[in-house]
Every structure is written in structure tokens, then in C-alpha cells.
Amino acid sequence: MKNNYVLIITLSIFLFSCTSSSRSYNSFAPDAETGFSEFRSERTGSEASFTISDKGLSREQIENILSTKFPPDHTVSIAIMFLYRFNTYSPNNDGLSFYIMEQGKNINKVEKFVPIHRVFVPQRITFELIQDLGIRSLCEYTLIFYSYSNRSMTFSQWLSGEFKFESDIEFSLIDNRTTAIIASDRLKSSTIKKGRSVKDIEEAEKEIYTLQAALLAEKLNDLFSK
């Protein structure tokens, strides 16, 4: 009986040690935590949620949406809206929108991207609001980005001691004239680092957002070239 207890305890410890800890990277080591408590409190309750009216669409709205033509036969501008707050523990890093802007020149028929500042994005989002902000940004389309985890990046630790940094962000392309959803897709990328220091996080963010921006450019090129 005593041997059985020893075996059970040993197996429990082994299984616990093999489990990777997947969590938000605001749980990093103390050296990555220092100085960012203020940002965390600012972030609380800041994510936006999408709301669809229970009334349904009017006949005029239906006809307008179904009249959508894509791709356009001319160059266009695209507004960028994030439905979650970009959080970073690397104060020297730029957000994903910066890398998207850098890729703008590589996308067919896209003249420019116009980021919509967070101050204009309320917590409750509707198609009408997206249309309003997109048109006020003088853009034909709006790209909305959302993350179900409401995190820019998460990490998990492997038995080898290395850390896998991941980002899984979804997006939808909206026609600002008709509010039709042209396409929806996701941008998923990851990278491996030996540690989780501030330097490792900075490098991981840069690598991941560069990959995601390039992936977005590829997907938009496919859409606008059809």
C-alpha cells in the first residue's frame, strides 16, 4: 500500500511538471513587470464588444448590402480599428498598426491605411458606428481587429525551459458604403525565445507583428486581386 502511495505522488508531480503554463504575458517575471502596473489598471474594462440590433435589416438596407461590388476598380483607403486595447510590456515597441502601415505600399489597389484612434472607439460597436468612423476617416473600407483573449500576445513554457510567444488576432473587412462584410480571417503567428526578459518580449513582439502584418498584406492582396 505504501508503494502505491509513493507511485501516485510521483506521477502527480511528473504530470504537473509536464503541463505548460499558457497565460497572458502580463504574468511574466518581475523584471518585465516593473513600471507597468499603471498600464494594467488603464486597460481594465477597455475592450470593445460588438452589438447587432434585434430589429433586423430594413428592405432598403438589404438591397444596399446586396448591391456591394468587390473588388473595386480603383485605388482605395482603408481605416484600421482595434476592438481591443493593444497592450505591450515593451515601451520601445510600436503597435501592430505601425507594422500594418509599413506593409501598405505592398498591397494592390490600397493607397493608404488610416488608424482610428481609441478615443473614438466606444465599448459597444455597431455596423453603423464602423461605417460612420470609416467614412469620417475618408476611407472606402474599414478593417476591424479583435481578439477573443483580449490580449496582444500570450506565452507558454516548454520543458526545455524555452518560451513560445503566440498571437492570434482575427479581422474583418467592412465596406463603408454598404456595411457589407467583405471577408473575415485570422492572423496567427508565434516565435520561440530562451527567456521571458524585457528584451525577449521586445524581440518577440517585433517578430510576431512583422509576421502578422506581412500575412495581412498577403491576404488583402489576394482579396483585391480577384
pLDDT tens-place string over residues 114-150:
999 888 888 788 999 999 999 999 999 999 998 776 5
Asked whether residue 4 is assigned to any structural domain, the reply reads: no
What is the total count of domains within the chain? Answer: 1
The predicted structure's pLDDT at residue 190: 86
Please give the pLDDT value at position 12. 46
pTM of the predicted model as reported, rounded to 2 decimal places: 0.73
**Nearest to residue 142, comparing CAs of 168, 111, 114?**
114
Residue 151 in any domain: the answer is yes
pLDDT at residue 13, rounded to an integer: 41
Asked if 213 and 108 touch (Cβ cutoff 8 Å), the reply is no
Q: Are 143 and 79 in contact (CB under 8 A)?
A: yes
- Residue 88 included in any domain: yes
Q: What value does the mean pLDDT of the chain take?
A: 76
pLDDT at residue number 128: 92
In tens, the pLDDT along 15-42 reads 444 444 444 333 343 344 433 333 333 3
pLDDT at 151: 60
Whether residue 59 lies inside any domain: the answer is yes
Residue ranges, the chain, pLDDT below 50: 2, 5-46
Does residue 215 lie within any of the structural domains?
yes
Query: Is-contact 90 202, C-beta < 8 A?
Result: yes
For residue 3, being part of any structural domain is answered with: no
